[in-house]
Structure 1
């Protein structure tokens, strides 16, 4: 099957059957649920999910509860400005950090749909399902997984065509980047390390992680590719790997200046060449999969291969924000999303900025 057909098959892995007065939605576990009307009080336990649903709806309405970490990203990023009603959405739906469901709090919100990671397993999903709630499992890891749950969200929201357009736009952008970097030889791919955490431990993204996919798509070599999808490593291992580029994730507070000043990192090529970058924060964090992932790909491809990528990041950001949110970004807002003050001292970043 050609890849373009394959990704759209994945996008509709939630199989939709229309009947009089009802819509059948098959989630990413293969479980079928019937909806008489679009969900009006959906709950999202996975962190990236609420902002994606907002993009599909172009509104914060229809969300009764979301992960507290999702609200933090909205508060610290631009989505809180676009959809200020986010602050009224309940965030007490988990048991502490993570995605374990607080069933009692969720029931009190009277939801008509609950989204949870399918990989959480029956122990996590069954307590919700035993209450009679409609629980939809989402899969995480690949672009195909994301395409599937975007399509599923679109059907639950009553906006399947918009969800399919989002999936199609991402696929078009992916193809454009693949074509631009098709001639990059293996020895020309910089050794890239993504750090989900670096303040108290070093947590990296290995094989079958979304960050691995992003790094490879953007023309890099994930130096942690032989490790599990998420694992903790020592500084000694990082020194052995000697990455040429380091990406700092948005689930931590560490900035490039912290690594530049850390004596332990002075022997790392990425520090010596000033190629440590904090990943942007737009409508959601740009390191995990989201409605803005195409912008992550463009941003990283531009940093790794500025002479080949050939896609204007700032123009792309304006186009994507108009499509996703109906919002016209200012130059100052783009620079804020790109962490201009924090990244300006890193190599090649000035050309992405205007201030």
Structure 2
């Protein structure tokens, strides 16, 4: 049993940093909520008292927009234009308030305090650095800070526990159940599948030579559905630059991309012509609305990617796929895009990018 599984089995709420930082402290009103995925600094208010929630980064923003949109103070990032038609009117109207997490903070401490959040929520990678920052910021401002580990396999627990903490236990459980159904369905398909799994390469950036290394969150969906990530043996948990020579050595059967420029160029680019995925027309553009279905940001939007990619891999009927995706849109984004729009998105996702 790995360390995370062991902690879950024991129901431990200790931090995963060897006890360097204080243990997780949950509000007295939710004493039965314990999870090794959650690291809380400061004392949480009672759920009924939490009215204003600040999302520290993009993954938290997307998750909170589904879980507690009325309490979300605003988006940590500016929504891309192509996202707007796929979101509820409320979500479209939320202001951009900036972020604490990610590649550089875009909000000052003074600006954040002026928003008067009752709690800060961050979702994503957890390490000693992020734990220390969360602790320091909570101590500096007096605002409780919830840091949640963000692996896709843990999405049901993330939603269930966060829903309970923020006073939306029923809705959180509903979202968690839907996430678990997707994960269970994928696991069943993997178990029943008897064919050979294709090797896949995630081509990020316009030249296609950026990809997710090893255990990177950027390639989690590929691993989840059971395909072979050709970059899976590379060390690291982030994005890496690779050479064309390395891609040729990997020789992937399928190339996944969310970059329009790369997708439109790859079949004419002589550098890529000897790759099986290119020769066999298996360069697949992954939908990106309202957010990237693979990794941008790495939040609940990846459930859409997992559902879609597993359906593509295991031959799920398009009608069934559209029904499932429509259900997810309604549940997670409070918006019904309709069958025709989803069919068009599945058929030609690059047109909506």
Displacement of 1:314 in angstroms is: 0.4
How many residue pairs match? The answer is 329
Task: Select which of 251, 254, 258 maps to 2:261.
Answer: 254
Task: Select which of 262, 265, 282 maps to 2:272.
Answer: 265
Task: Select which of 225, 238, 261 maps to 2:232.
Answer: 225
Displacement of 1:226 in angstroms is: 0.6
The equivalent residue for 2:309 is 300
Displacement of 1:141 in angstroms is: 3.1
The structure that is strand-richer by fraction is 1
The equivalent residue for 1:83 is 89
Deviations 1:284-314 (A, max 9, x none): 32113433433322211222232x7898210
1:41–1:63 Cα contact (<8 Å) kept:
yes
Q: Secondary structure at the match of 1:327?
A: coil
Deviates more, 1:123-132 or 1:104-113: 123-132
1:255–1:342 Cα contact (<8 Å) kept:
no
Q: Secondary structure at the match of 2:141?
A: coil
Displacement of 1:147 in angstroms is: 3.2
Deviations 1:54-108 (A, max 9, x none): 2123x3x21224321xx325x4225664134544423333499455763233222
Relative distance call for 1:316 and 1:40 in structure 2 (3 A) is same
The equivalent residue for 1:348 is none
Task: Select which of 161, 169, 181 maps to 1:160.
Answer: 169
Q: How does 1:30-45 map to 2 (within 5 A)?
A: 31=41, 33-36=43-46, 37-45=48-56
Relative distance call for 1:222 and 1:108 in structure 2 (3 A) is same
Q: Which runs of 5+ in 2 are unaligned?
A: 14-23
Task: Select which of 168, 184, 191 maps to 2:199.
Answer: 191
Give the Cα–Cα distance (whole angstroms) in 1 for the partners of residues 106 and 32 of structure 2: 28
1:67–1:99 Cα contact (<8 Å) kept:
no
Give the Cα–Cα distance (whole angstroms) in 2 for the partners of residues 316 and 220 of structure 1: 21
| TM-score (normalised: structure 2) | 0.78
CA RMSD after TM alignment: 3.7
Deviates more, 1:9-18 or 1:199-208: 9-18
Displacement of 1:167 in angstroms is: 1.7
Displacement of 1:29 in angstroms is: 2.5
Q: Secondary structure at the match of 1:90?
A: coil
Structure 1 position 113 matched with structure 2 position 119: yes
Q: How does 1:59-208 map to 2 (within 5 A)?
A: 59=69, 61-68=70-77, 71-73=78-80, 75-78=81-84, 81-94=87-100, 97-98=103-104, 102-116=108-122, 117=124, 118-119=126-127, 120-129=129-138, 130-144=140-154, 146-185=155-194, 188-195=196-203, 197-199=204-206, 202-208=209-215
Q: Secondary structure at the match of 2:79?
A: helix
Q: Secondary structure at the match of 1:64?
A: coil
Structure 1 position 333 matched with structure 2 position 333: no
Relative distance call for 1:165 and 1:79 in structure 2 (3 A) is farther
